[in-house]
Amino acid sequence: MKNTRSPLFPIVVFVVINLIIFSLSRLGLSLWQMERVTAVQGWRELFLQGLRIDVVALCYLFGVPALFTVLFHTSDLWKKILRVWLTFGSVFIIFMEIATPAFIETYDYRPNRLFIEYLIYPKEVFSMLVEGHLSEVILNLVFTVLATILYWQLAAWSVKNLRPMSWKVRPIVALVVIGVSFIGARSSFQHRGINPAMVAFSSDSLVNSLVLNSGYSVIYAAQQFKDEEKSSEIYGKMDTNEMLRIVKLNRGRAVDDYISEKFPTLTKNTASYQGKPKNIVIILQESLGAQFIGTLGGKPLSPNIDRLAKEGWLFENIYATGTRSVRGIEAVTTGFIPTPARAVVKLNNSQNNFFTIADFLGKQGYDTSFIYGGEKHFDNMASFFYGNGVKTIIDQQDYKNPKFTATWGVSDEDLFDKADETFTKLQNEGKPFFSLVFSSSNHDPFEFPDGKIELYEQPKATRNNSAKYADYAVGHFFNLAKKSNYWKDTIFLVIADHDSRAAGASLIPIKNFHIPALILGEGIAPRRDQRLVSQIDMPTTLLSLAGVSGNYPMIGYDLTKNTNPDRAIMQFDQTQALMKGNRDVVIQMPSKAAQGYYYDKATETLKEKSVSEEMKQEALAYALLGSYLYKNRLYQAGSENK
């Protein structure tokens, strides 16, 4: 065996092994999701396009070491480097594939940008995994350690006995390796290399993601972070003036309402209520989608919200803008339109001088606060809020002797006790206040105190039981609030940040964007509102109900007026949807033409349908607007409200 192996032997061995790993993983995942793969007749495309993506990933991973191996395979130093590269590249692949089933169970998609974002908060995520997914964590760790040992030994064996290559031949072989790696990595002779959109073939986003491998999916998502300022351009291009014209036309505001040449969406706004300005409290409920609200046709888990719905203004047809808490925060505190980038809570250009209703109200004499049961640094919330008008943040460290503490912080009851205490004190001081109160009990691993609710099912730590406890805590808060000194002077909004889990055999699972929104307070007449509206319509409506007039850049509707938004905008990873009141839907995906659908609410499915070119242009204009305003720092109130 002495010096009988080709210099490229180690690369070939590990390429073949990892192709087998990719294929076995894809096969297992596909068999697990057999019904959905069969429903879209996806078996052939899944494995052919999957092999294509695997080749792309391996060309990226092993192309450079293949070139260096041709040039330096006689060097003992390079053999050591190659051994490390082969081992840890392969360990990364197998680690990501082992982690994939648990991620799919939660997000109905292969690991993507969310996987990366969670790595920023190891304490919270590790606690969640240990409490709710311990067996998966142990399994992954065991397999990863075993794989590391095995690959390390295999790499050592593979780099031995490499046959020296003549220096006359090396440049030729090197050029061949470069050519094969380049063509394999691009997998296309078009002007753009391959991307996930090129291999998407079905109406089921999960099946499309199974075509990928998880390592490629995560690295592609990481690469997209650098393009966040122009993220929406993946859907197409449009002249800026035309984009703004379409947005303003569909918004239905008078031309004279637009008061700034610099800030294109800045308008003057007159509140419907003209009395003494009221306090505003937004109760943002973690993961409490419409599926958990009995009065909206969901499971019988919300007796308190159902009761309160008879006392206030319930929106029956409101849709979240996304599937993450920061997206919900973005919508209800800034009114900002969703983009394929991360929510503005996390983006650099929006950490200060970015419009929020907290900043807007603070400049009009309001005390502003964010009350949370967990740690304020999570999801970059502290930086964003402190930089944009929130005066006080109360987080986990501010609770003395809480009744119950879980992975994500103190219980919702502790949260609402603290909120009631805070609001009572502010009312006594005679200052109007704005507060965002963000719950956390209704979150995996679903921990809440014993003896508070009659369990809906066994075991205790389930999504449904946790949702029922979240409802119990809301009832607890309003029992306190109605007896308080601040009740008659406050407008309350109870709204979900998003649904608990967006899943389904659809490009975008619209049913999982349906959320509850309920406005309560002295003088709020009971009503059930059937208009199709979005989370971004809530902050404008709250300001109007509270009697706060002024100038702001939000494009959401004031729902106290005789107007009908007749639209919802939803962002699902890299896919954006615009739905109109007749349930026509335009779906936009990266580097693909916009496609029309009809949302059949009875079956909760999308059916292909021809929609007007005007609606497609409207969808594109909305999709481009957010990135344009963010990139150019145009989402501000100017100096008019100071």
Express each pLDDT in 28-55 by its tens digit: 999 999 999 999 999 999 999 999 999 9
Evaluate whether residue 514 is within a structural domain.
Answer: no
Average pLDDT in the 552-581 region? 96
Residues 331 and 555 sit within 8 Å (Cβ to Cβ): no
DSSP structural state of residue 56: H
Boundary of a domain, candidates 203, 226, 249: 226
Q: Taking all residues of the chain, what is their mean pLDDT, rounded to a whole number?
A: 93
Q: 319 φ, ψ to 5°?
A: -125, 140
**Joined tokens for residue 440:** 């956390």
Per-residue pLDDT band for 595 (boundaries 50, 70, 90) equals very high
Evaluate whether residue 516 is within a structural domain.
Answer: no
Nearest to 83 by CA among 177, 19, 151: 151
**Joined tokens for residue 281:** 């409290």
Evaluate whether residue 590 is within a structural domain.
Answer: yes
Do 552 and 593 fall within a single domain?
A: yes
Do 240 and 200 fall within a single domain?
A: no
Do 219 and 303 fall within a single domain?
A: no
Do 532 and 583 fall within a single domain?
A: yes
Per-residue pLDDT band for 421 (boundaries 50, 70, 90) equals very high
- Residue 523 has a CB neighbour count (10 Å cut-off) of 10
Strand partners, 518: 314, 494
Evaluate whether residue 512 is within a structural domain.
Answer: no
Do 129 and 186 fall within a single domain?
A: yes
Q: Reply yes or no on whether 325 is catalytic.
A: yes
Type of residue found at 473: A
Per-residue pLDDT of 218-249, as tens digits, reads 998 888 777 677 778 899 999 999 999 999 99
Q: Return the higher-pLDDT residue of 615 and 137.
A: 615
Q: Is the pLDDT of residue 640 over 60?
A: no
CATH of the domain at 369: 3.40.720.10
Evaluate whether residue 642 is within a structural domain.
Answer: no
Evaluate whether residue 392 is within a structural domain.
Answer: yes
Buried/exposed code over 143-176 (b: 16+ C-beta within 10 A; e: otherwise): bbeebbeebbebbeebbeebeebeeeebeebbee
Boundary of a domain, candidates 226, 257, 276: 226
Residues 541 and 557 sit within 8 Å (Cβ to Cβ): yes
CA 495 – CA 416 distance, rounded (Å) = 15
Residue 373: partners with Cβ closer than 8 Å, 6 or more residues away: 395, 396, 399, 408, 409, 410, 411, 412, 414, 415, 438, 439, 440, 441
Outline where 33-133 has alpha helix (H). 34-39, 43-72, 76-107, 113-119, 122-132
CA 357 – CA 388 distance, rounded (Å) = 9
At residue 303's C-alpha, the angle toward residues 300 and 307, to 5°, is 130
Residue 471 assigned to a binding site: no
Residue 133 assigned to a binding site: no
Boundary of a domain, candidates 226, 248, 267: 226
CA 299 – CA 295 distance, rounded (Å) = 9
Residue 58: partners with Cβ closer than 8 Å, 6 or more residues away: 15, 18, 19, 184
- The confidence score (pLDDT) of residue 197 equals 74
Q: 486 φ, ψ to 5°?
A: -100, -10
Per-residue pLDDT of 255-292, as tens digits, reads 899 999 999 999 999 999 999 999 999 999 999 999 99
The SS3 of residue 267 is strand
Per-residue pLDDT band for 80 (boundaries 50, 70, 90) equals very high
Do 219 and 250 fall within a single domain?
A: no
**Strand-strand pairing, 527-529 and 313-319:** parallel
Evaluate whether residue 2 is within a structural domain.
Answer: no
DSSP structural state of residue 162: B
Do 292 and 176 fall within a single domain?
A: no
- Domain span at residue 613 reads 233-502+521-557+566-632
Distance of CA 125 to the CA centre of its chain: 16
At residue 558's C-alpha, the angle toward residues 639 and 252, to 5°, is 90
**Joined tokens for residue 506:** 């659809």
Region of 236 (left: φ > 0; alpha: ψ -120 to 50; beta: rest) is left
Nearest to 628 by CA among 531, 548, 555, 524: 555
Do 321 and 382 fall within a single domain?
A: yes
- The confidence score (pLDDT) of residue 203 equals 77
Q: Give how many domains the chain has, as a whole number.
A: 2
Do 175 and 285 fall within a single domain?
A: no
Residue 286 assigned to a binding site: yes
Per-residue pLDDT of 157-175, as tens digits, reads 999 999 999 999 999 999 9
Residue 514 assigned to a binding site: no
- The confidence score (pLDDT) of residue 641 equals 47
Record the pTM. Answer: 0.84
Residue with tokens 């959401």: 556
Type of residue found at 550: G
Do 396 and 489 fall within a single domain?
A: yes
Of the residues 90, 205, 325, 544, which is catalytic?
A: 325
Do 241 and 281 fall within a single domain?
A: yes
**Joined tokens for residue 319:** 């849709």
Do 210 and 245 fall within a single domain?
A: no
Give, in order, the Cα–Cα distances in Å from 47 to each of 53, 181, 487, 572. 10, 21, 60, 24
Residue with tokens 């009009």: 364
Evaluate whether residue 23 is within a structural domain.
Answer: yes
